[in-house]
Structure 1
Amino acid sequence: MTFPDITPDLKAAMPLLRGRLLANQSLAELTWFRVGGPAQVLFTPADEEDLAYFLKLLPNELPVYVVGVGSNLIVRDGGMPGVVIRLSPRAFGETSASGDTVTAGTAALDKRVAETAAAAGIGGMEFFFGIPGTIGGALRMNAGANGSETKDVLVEATGIGRDGTKHVFSNADMKFVYRNSGIDPSVIFTSARFRGQVADAETIRARMNEVQNHRETAQPIREKTGGSTFKNPPGNSAWKLIDAAGCRGLCVGGAQVSEMHCNFLINTGNATGHDIETLGETVRERVKANSGIELHWEIKRIGIPA
């Protein structure tokens, strides 16, 4: 599918824009599943000021969506109308440590934040080492692993509103809940500050190694996957419910429920976005029929059908 090219109009309306605008840019290579159609416009801002300028002048009727490294995302085959914004690691990926705090741009990998903290002897952020995403996604969905969550270490986050206004949010402002936050979805996070505890470097590294070993032995991290597909229902595990419903190894087209960890879906090589989403919905139906429990998607799904 090809969308109308609106980049000339946007450039004309934003003469001081320094970031890159691309029309009908494929999103498949930006996601771990490697599926999906194009973005009508893909915008990569030069820095925070450039992002604010763009949002301030962008017509309100154009939808906006932000992607990180695409580790938790299904893009539908028809693509994404409107504007997709991708924050580059060069402009938004720096990390630094001081005392017991770590500051990070939201394009920084969660893993890099854990490494920055470890190098500075700051404990409490080891769990980030096992999350295959960026800090922007961690803020939006209160990402967590191994018994810890983003809410446990966040001091404050900075973001740009849809009108180009800069905001600073405290931990309480974020209204964190399980795998979500209460901030307006139109806000684009640009940086965050975290606080841990001064700890022994060897102890921190040992904990990070435990996290990595768990991922490598229990999760299909070398496949084209999107991480945990469904949220864990209260008092239960999504993978156990999926397994009990007989869905381990289930296939739809080129998509498969992982044999290793059945809360992971896999693109076996030629899956479409439709295959993966249909497989997920099939799993939800079978789990509901078997256990009476309704699973809710943790993976984000965007765009329109082919």
Structure 2
Amino acid sequence: MTQSGSDLLAKLGDRLSGLRGRLMPDAGMDKITWLRAGGPAQVLFTPADEEDLATFLRAVPEEIPVMVVGVGSNLLVRDGGVDGFVVRLSPKGFGAAKVVSDVRIEAGAATPDKRVAATALDAGIGGFHFYHGIPGAIGGALRMNAGANGVETRERVVEVRALDRQGDAHVLSNSEMGYAYRSSMASKSLIFTSALFEGYREDKDAIQASMEGVQQHRETVQPVREKTGGSTFKNPEGSSAWKEIDKAGMRGFKVGAAQMSEMHCNFMINTGEATGHDLETLGETVRRRVRETSGVSLQWEIKRIGKFVAGREVTPFLD
């Protein structure tokens, strides 16, 4: 990094004096990502609530990068760390889920997906059982149209509340989110703060059975007790990423301490002290082998952020 996190905070001086959230210079991203790898954030900011986040965004000059992360379940941080500010929404300020009608739920962007599923179960609202098996938070689910067990986020979203880089609030309709498979067209500069969802009335026993089915499937076929980032690649059209990886002979393949899981070979795991370089090199090697084997071009589902260490760059195979 060009300067330390403390230097950046000193440079901004009193501009940040009114914030109620926590500012942490040179914060280790490996402590908050599920892959447990990567360099530090120059400054990690955890806002107290939406008003605090808006105050922060208005105070930070636009030339200083600001990036938001969720619970870190689908995130690979490069070893050179992340310049500027990384925003991580607090569970206290952004982690509530509440029932607002007989079929609607409002949830903050830091709310775990599993909590939304549990809230829906308690209220007898169907259509949210799939969130029980997604190890992330609502903000990430909104951004990437998270889905499982045949259901996607876009099927439940009514509207999304967000702040832009200037700290101004916006409300986006489902259509304005521009959802597609594992993606949305909403501006990357927007920070989602909450969303309104809609399901349907359903018997609680039926919802419970669906959630138990999701949990059983996940524990049976996914390495849930490993340091992993979830599905590494998006499913290519007409196939499954794991099938293409398996066909290419990459099940269990390792680069350093990074490995494609033996249990589910579209899950990349950190078997010990893998670096961001190990993990990204593994992913790009898999992409190359799959392309050579079947002609399929796998696309990353895991979000990769930050800088490479000089001399330790990973050249994307296809990009």
| 1:70-89 alignment runs, 5 A limit | 70-89=72-91
Deviation at 1:46, TM superposition (A): 1.1
Give the secondary structure class of the aligned counterpart of 1:191.
strand
Given candidates 40, 43, 46, the residue that maps to 1:41 is 43
2:292 corresponds to? 289
Given that 1:2 and 1:24 are in contact with CA atoms closer than 8 Å, whether structure 2 keeps it comes out as no
Given candidates 215, 219, 237, the residue that maps to 2:218 is 215
Given that 1:226 and 1:299 are in contact with CA atoms closer than 8 Å, whether structure 2 keeps it comes out as yes
| 1:153-192 alignment runs, 5 A limit | 153-192=156-195
Whole-Å Cα distance in 2 between the matches of residues 34 and 88 of structure 1? 20
Given candidates 110, 114, 121, the residue that maps to 2:117 is 114
1:196 corresponds to? 199
Whole-Å Cα distance in 2 between the matches of residues 235 and 135 of structure 1? 28
Aligned pair count reads 306
- Structure 1 residue ranges (4+ consecutive) displaced by more than 6 angstroms after TM superposition: none
Given that 1:79 and 1:303 are in contact with CA atoms closer than 8 Å, whether structure 2 keeps it comes out as yes
1:15 corresponds to? 17
Given that 1:18 and 1:50 are in contact with CA atoms closer than 8 Å, whether structure 2 keeps it comes out as yes
Given that 1:3 and 1:24 are in contact with CA atoms closer than 8 Å, whether structure 2 keeps it comes out as no
1:61 corresponds to? 63
Bigger drift between 14-23 and 202-211 goes to: 14-23
Whole-Å Cα distance in 2 between the matches of residues 259 and 99 of structure 1? 43
Q: TM-score, normalising length from structure 1?
A: 0.98
Whole-Å Cα distance in 1 between the matches of residues 45 and 304 of structure 2? 19
Given that 1:3 and 1:81 are in contact with CA atoms closer than 8 Å, whether structure 2 keeps it comes out as no
2:104 corresponds to? 101
| 1:141-152 alignment runs, 5 A limit | 141-152=144-155
Task: Structure 2: give runs of 5+ residues left out of the alignment.
Answer: 310-319
Whole-Å Cα distance in 1 between the matches of residues 2 and 75 of structure 2? 21
Task: Structure 1: give runs of 5+ residues left out of the alignment.
Answer: none
For the pair 1:136 / 2:126, whether they are aligned, the reply is no
Whole-Å Cα distance in 1 between the matches of residues 18 and 37 of structure 2? 34
Call closer, same or farther: CA 1:136–1:11 in 2, change over 3 Å: farther
Q: TM-score, normalising length from structure 2?
A: 0.94
Given that 1:66 and 1:84 are in contact with CA atoms closer than 8 Å, whether structure 2 keeps it comes out as yes
| 1:270-289 alignment runs, 5 A limit | 270-289=273-292
Identity over the aligned pairs, expressed in percent?
61
Output the amino acid matched with 2:158. V
Whole-Å Cα distance in 2 between the matches of residues 157 and 221 of structure 1? 29
Output the amino acid matched with 1:284. R
Deviation at 1:185, TM superposition (A): 0.3
Whole-Å Cα distance in 2 between the matches of residues 247 and 22 of structure 1? 39
Deviation at 1:21, TM superposition (A): 1.1
Whole-Å Cα distance in 2 between the matches of residues 243 and 299 of structure 1? 19
Give the secondary structure class of the aligned counterpart of 1:216.
helix
1:32 corresponds to? 34
Deviation at 1:65, TM superposition (A): 1.1
1:227 corresponds to? 230
Q: Deviations over 1:232-272 (max 9, x none)?
A: 01111000000000000100000011000000011001111
Whole-Å Cα distance in 1 between the matches of residues 163 and 13 of structure 2? 20
Deviation at 1:99, TM superposition (A): 1.1
Give the secondary structure class of the aligned counterpart of 1:114.
helix
Deviation at 1:11, TM superposition (A): 4.5
Deviation at 1:9, TM superposition (A): 3.0
2:312 corresponds to? none
Whole-Å Cα distance in 2 between the matches of residues 117 and 267 of structure 1? 33
Deviation at 1:15, TM superposition (A): 2.9
Given that 1:103 and 1:193 are in contact with CA atoms closer than 8 Å, whether structure 2 keeps it comes out as yes
Whole-Å Cα distance in 1 between the matches of residues 118 and 135 of structure 2? 13
Output the amino acid matched with 2:167. G
Given that 1:139 and 1:150 are in contact with CA atoms closer than 8 Å, whether structure 2 keeps it comes out as yes
Q: Deviations over 1:196-236 (max 9, x none)?
A: 00110000000000000000000001000000000001111
Output the amino acid matched with 2:150. G
